Amino acid sequence: MNYLFFDIECANPRFNSICTFGYYLVDEQYTVIEHDDILINPETSYDPYVIKHILHYTTEELEAHMPFPCYHDRLRALMQTKETLVFGFSISNDIRFLNETCLRYRLPCLNFRFYDIQKIFGAYVKATNQASIELAGEQLHLEKPAFVHRSDEDARITMEIARALCQELKMPLLQLVDYFPGCGGSNIDFSETWLTEGGTSVIDHRQNRKKRLKLREKRLREQKERKEKAKAQSLDGIKDAAIGVGESSEISSSTELSVAGVEFAVD
């Protein structure tokens, strides 16, 4: 059995536009089989906050690479095999990014089994709030990461957290994921299904995307209507001002004629 630890960064989280996919593929002894930080042209606008605080690459570097469809087969070969279990930290976000991007480009879903190391760590320490990857690493006395929010480095730290938890509890990773139920599930045909104590919890990404696109269309339509209304009001204001100027000129001319008439009569 192999384990794939991965992390994704987006150029613009609002659009789920993937720009990096970092991963570590290891065997059951954590021997690294391969790792990489795949740079992807997001083909979308960039969130200013992401550019300033998240990205470790320039927009020029990212846009020099191919868009997501060119890497779909490679990711499927990594994730969609019976011999591989997939792990992430707060993995639901990354699953959403993958599903939304596949739907955006009309690509087949990437189907895989997954486990969330963040949830496993939270269950282990009995946390009341979700821990960040930095805090989890610190509490397990791991070396601080060289880069924060770089996909391949976050994937490596996720792997190290999993390994530290296995060492703390003296059990292999396969046993660890069974020891903490409710921390994993599967992503099949754009449905993210979590196994829970009460059964299952399902997130339908296809339907969520349709709803969000309809909402976006509604907002754009309302925005367009507001602009057209404001433009019409502005034109009405210009017309009213022009009429006012015209009336004022007529009154002024009439007054001059009256005055001239009076003066003529007196003479």
Give 168 or 210, the one with higher predicted confidence.
168
pLDDT of residue 267: 42
Pinpoint the alpha helices (H) of 55-194: 59-63, 72-79, 91-104, 117-125, 133-139, 151-169, 173-179
Q: pLDDT tens across 4-59, in order?
A: 999 999 999 989 999 999 999 999 999 999 999 999 999 999 999 999 999 999 99
Residue the block writes with tokens 């990014």: 97
Q: Determine the Cα–Cα distance for residues 53 and 191; give it in Å rounded to an integer.
A: 31
pLDDT tier, 266 (very low <50, low <70, confident <90, very high otherwise) = very low
Find the mean pLDDT for residues 119-145.
91
Q: How far apart are CA 43 and CA 47, in angstroms?
A: 13
246 — pLDDT class (breaks 50, 70, 90): low
74-90 pLDDT tens trace: 999 999 999 999 999 99
Cβ atoms within 10 Å, residue 169: 13
The pLDDT value given to residue 265: 43
